[in-house]
Amino acid sequence: MQNRIAFITGASRGIGRACALALSSAGARVVLAARQPDKLEQVASEIRAAGRDAFVVPMDLAATDSIRAAFAKTAKEFGRVDILINNAAITNLTGAFVATQQVLLGMMRERWGRIVNITSVVAEAGNAGQANYVASKAGLIGLTKSLAQEMASRSVTVNAVAPGFIDTDMTQGLAPELKERILAAIPLERLGTPDDVAAAVRFLASEEAGYITGHVLNVNGGMYM
């Protein structure tokens, strides 16, 4: 992964931050994208303190023009994107689709690329009361599999990581009794960590994963098999 250019959406905290740190430690030059540049700069400072490269681009995944501007700025700085991590959670499907559009031609031209979409355990198992969220996350799996077939002839792999319940800002606000019910459904008897997810992402983005495409890698402690 040495000197590959990795673009991570939602990189200011949680899973996105962990992915940025993991890819950077593996040798990638990372582009950090999110709506809050100040928080991105904090992550970038951590990476630079370790002697590695980090580039910050403000981006709102709910706005197509903002996505295009962020990738245009990245292209001006680096010339290409080798690895795209579609992590940002709020605009699950549309944002990932538009972001992917920005990198495909370059990856096809280079005949190398890695796209990793962060979906969710609920995309496969369903979850009552979350029909809209589940549908968007399930749509990411469909996008992953379709793009994997379309891009395979150019050595561009497209995979997904499906986290279970991860210890992030989103889950820290859960009521204690709900958290107990969740833990009871997890065979490994703990919440996952952002680093657990980032390790899976790092592998799928690596040279070693070059013969894996169209795959959904579950990182859920065994709660859905």
What Rg value do the Cα atoms of the chain yield, rounded? 17
211 among known catalytic residues: no
Strands (DSSP E) contained in the chain are 5-9, 29-34, 54-58, 83-86, 113-118, 156-163, 216-219
Q: How far is CA 147 from CA 57, 71, 208, in A?
A: 25, 19, 20
C-alpha to C-alpha distance for 159 and 141, rounded to whole angstroms: 8
User: Are 106 and 152 a contacting pair, CB within 8 Å?
Assistant: no
Q: Which of 35, 41, 94, 133 is catalytic?
A: 133
Q: Which residues are catalytic?
A: 133
